Each structure stands twice: as structure tokens, then as C-alpha cells.
Amino acid sequence: MIQKLTAHININVPFLKDKKLLIAISGGLDSVVLHHLLATLNFDISLAHCNFNLRGKESDLDEEFVNNLSQKTSNQIFIKSFNTEKYSKDNKLSTQIAARELRYTWFQELVEKHKFDYILTAHHADDNLETFLINLTRGTGLEGFTGIPKINGNIVRPLLPFSREEILKYAKENKIEWREDASNASTKYTRNKLRHQVIPVLKEINPSLLSSFEKTLENLQESQQILEDRIEEVSSEIIETKEAITKINIDKIQQLSNPKAYLYQLLKNHSFTEWNDVYDLLSAQSGKQVFSKTHRLLKDRDFLILSRKTDVNLDKVERSFNINKDELEIKNPIHLTFETVKQISTENKQTIYVDKDLLKYPLLVRKWQNGEYLYPTKMQGKKKLSKFFKDDKFSVLEKENTWLLCNADNEIIWVINHRQDRRFSTTSSTRKTLKITTL
């Protein structure tokens, strides 16, 4: 095994030599063997052990075990104890995901602080096959079938070409001791079923299963890469990104061979689950929207508009912002200045002039509501705000982002940046003119 590993390192990860390496060590068979192999090959290694405190005393015995191991081999060791259950509750994560986040965050901290070049983990070929089969039973896509990457940023997995059997054989031949792996109980149930009942039958069918599986993974990774090339290219043609807003051109996506498939690929990293609702947006009315845990996708005329939920004003009836009589300027939710002037100078969309005596304080800045009316300048009669928006071809986003300036009775003074209400305009009898400007 030493020879095979040396050859594998020389061919596939030669850059590990003479580098500062940090081995993630649980105390289980795989990581202990990885440590033994690299120590035997005289690599520059340190150890990092996470005590997740998920199995009571057993967790502490694991910690003690790896601590002793590091003393025997004189390798530097880092140990950290985590309150995994609290972290998983606080962040609404499964224990397994919580442990993974804690682990990798800490490893990267160690890398930064102690200038490690690479983090090594002991994943092997059987892990890859088990993960493949777990994803198969759950239902997945191509991304669930491409395996654990050999190299991912600064994380390297040198044992991926090896089977559990080879690792076990090496451990026995070298009289290596280890502790049983700690792992999430429900995953363990599934993994054990696959490990003991499914994979042995597959290996009966094809005794060189793992090596043909390795080739299969490579093929799928290559297909995934080609697919990503295509998505990158299509993105550049049909997506416009501006600040936190991503606009997908519906017309262009409809011209592709399989619009839904492309839409899935474009949005798959934004936590959507109701894909049929997402696909329906392509032909829905403007204003329809679908939410994921983190994002909103909004149909707006010719575009699907993706934005983070935090950037979206979900509630049309939000709180009002008060403006008192003596305030000369407000900055939130929108920047307004108030100035009493002698005469009216240039008017533009950013500036209005009102008869100050007609106002009732406190003025309010707020969002619009359905059913509200405006008495627009340069027009007789009143007009529904929704009709005004429609006639002026406001997009759904523009409507959402529009603020109203109102008086204390909630009458509209100004659709800010768009249209003044004539009820408060200056007239020939105006005595005090107030100039209001947005910046």
C-alpha cells in the first residue's frame, strides 16, 4: 500500500511534498491509517481533532486516543471541543451538517493561523460509492453522482483511490490500533445497510467494482464540467446582474432546447424546492413570485428577477416614517430635504413645491396600498395609484420600491420621484412655499 500511495501522490498530488500538512483525525480506522502512512513517508504533518461531544464518554476517549497517538509519533496536535447540539439547534441544522460546518470552519482557522498548506482527510473509494448510493436512494441529479473531489481548494483526499479493504489490511499488517468512527446515527443506519448488504452483492457481480466505479465518477465529473461550461455560456447570454438583482431573460431561455432544465441549473444554488412553481413562472402573469428559504424569484414582464429575501420588501404595508414640522432633512427610508423658499425655481422629478399651510404634520413616508387614489397634477379628477403605475409601465420591482410622501391624514402629497398630488400644490394664494427634494 505504501508503494501504491507513493505512486498515487507522485502522479496526482505531487505538490504535497515538502508542504505543511494538517491531517483531520477522528481516531477511526481511515484517519489513523492515513496518519501512519504519511508519517512513514516522512511528510511534514500535524493533526487536528474535533471533539463534537455527541457520544458522551466515547467522544472523550476518542480525544484521549488521538492525543496519545500524537505523543507517540511526536506530531503536533490541535484539539477543539464543540457544543455541536447547541450549534445545530441555534442554526437549525442537522447534527451532521452542523458538525461539518464546525469542523471545516475550525480547520480553515488553523490553516490561517499556523500557515498550513493543505488539509488532508481520509475519505476512500468505499465512502464515495456509499455516498453515491445514498444519493441514489434519496433521489438526486448529476451533482449527486460526481463523488467527493480528490482536491477541493486546500482540502486533499489522498486515500480516495483505496478501498476500505486495503486500508483495513494495511492496519492489520502494521498492527495499527484505532477507535470505531463516530458518526451520525441515522446516516450510520443507511451506510451500514449499503456497506454490508448492498455493496458486497455489487462486488460479487463485478469483483473490480471500485476501479470501474472510479472511472465512472471521472466520466460523470467530465460530463458535469461540460454542462457547467454550457451553463456559464448561457448565463452570459441570458442573465443580467446588477447589484443584488439578477434578471433572467424569459424570451431567450424559452428558445433553448429545454428551458426548464436550464432554469433549474441557473437557480439550483438558491435553495428552491418547489420547482414546478418555479417553472410555471415562465408563463405566469407579471407579479407572480416564488420564494425559497433564501431567495425570491419574481415574474416581471420579460424577466424572472432573482433577489435575496433580505433585499425584498415583503410587506407592502410597512411601517411609516414620521417627519416633524421642524425637520429639514431625513435619510431613512429615503433621503429628503425640506426648505422654505421665496420662489419656485426649476422643477424636476426630484423636486416638488408645496403649499406649506395645507400640510398636516407629522408627514409620513410609506409604501402604497391597493385601492389608494392620487390627484395628479396636470390632470383633472383622481386616478387609482395602481392604474397610474400601469399606465406609466412600472415594473413590479419599481412599484415595490416606490415611496409615498403623505400628510398626517394619509393623503398623498407626492409619489416620490414620479408625480406630485395637486391637492398640495402651490397656487396664486400660497403664502409659504416648501421645496422638497430627494437626493
In this chain, which stretch among 60-68, 196-204, 294-302, 348-356 interacts with its own copies, using CB under 8 A? 196-204
Could you say whether residue 81 binds its own copies (CB under 8 A)?
no
Cα 189–192–196 angle (5° rounding)? Answer: 145
Among 77, 133, 305, 359, interactor with its own copies by CB under 8 A: 133
Binding-site residues for ATP, in ranges, read 26-31
Q: Which of 89, 114, 169, 230 binds its own copies (CB under 8 A)?
A: 230
In the complex, minimum distance from the CB of residue 215 to its own copies, in angstroms, rounded to a whole number: 5
Residue the block writes with cell 409615498? 404
From candidates 87, 104, 106, 264, binder to its own copies by CB under 8 A: 264
| Residue 88 CB coordination number (10 Å) | 20
Contact with its own copies (CB under 8 A): which of 81, 137, 313, 410? 137
Q: Which of 304/352 has CB closer to its own copies?
A: 304
Strand ranges inside 220-362, DSSP E = 239-242, 245-249, 289-291, 295-300, 303-308, 321-323, 329-330, 336-341, 351-355
Over the window 359 to 398, marking each residue x when it contacts its own copies by CB under 8 A and - when it does not, the resulting string is ----------------------------------------
Contact flag: residue 258 with its own copies (CB under 8 A): yes
Q: Which is nearer to its own copies, 193 or 423 (CB)?
A: 193
Stretch that binds its own copies, among 257-265, 290-298, 322-330, 397-405 (CB under 8 A): 257-265
Cβ atoms of 100 and 62 closer than 8 Å = no
Q: Among 92, 115, 138, 393, which residue interacts with its own copies (rule: CB under 8 A)?
A: 138
Residue 183 CB, nearest distance to its own copies (Å)? 16
The C-alpha atoms of residue 229 and residue 231 are separated, in whole angstroms, by 6
Phi, psi dihedrals of residue 241, rounded to the nearest 5°:
-115, 135
Helix, strand and coil content of the chain, in percent to the nearest 5, comes to 45, 20, 35
- Three-state SS at 341: strand
- By CB under 8 A, tell whether 141 contacts its own copies: yes
Total residues contacting its own copies by CB under 8 A comes to: 45
Please state the closest distance from residue 210 (CB atom) to its own copies, in A: 10
Which one, of 60, 54, 136, 149, lies nearest residue 96 by Cα?
54
Among 87, 145, 321, 361, binds its own copies (CB under 8 A): 145
Applying the rule CB under 8 A, the residues between 197 and 216 that interact with its own copies are 197-198, 201-202, 204-206, 209, 212-213, 215-216
Over the Cα atoms of the chain, what is R_g?
32
**CB 19, min distance to its own copies, A:** 26
CA 406 to the chain's CA centroid: 39
Using rule CB under 8 A, residue 403 touches its own copies: no
Residue 226 in the binding site for its own copies (CB under 8 A): yes
Phi-psi region of 378 (alpha: psi -120 to 50; beta: other; left: phi over 0): left
**Residue written as cell 500511495?**
5
Helix axes 57-73 and 29-40, enclosed angle (nearest 10): 10
Task: Please identify, using beta-carbon distances, which residue of 78 and 132 lies nearer to its own copies.
Answer: 132
Residue 84 CA to residue 86 CA, distance in Å, equals 5
Identity at 365, one-letter amino acid code: V
Chain residues that interact with its own copies, rule: CB under 8 A: 133, 136-142, 144-145, 190, 193-194, 197-198, 201-202, 204-206, 209, 212-213, 215-216, 219-220, 222-227, 229-231, 233, 256-258, 260-262, 264-265
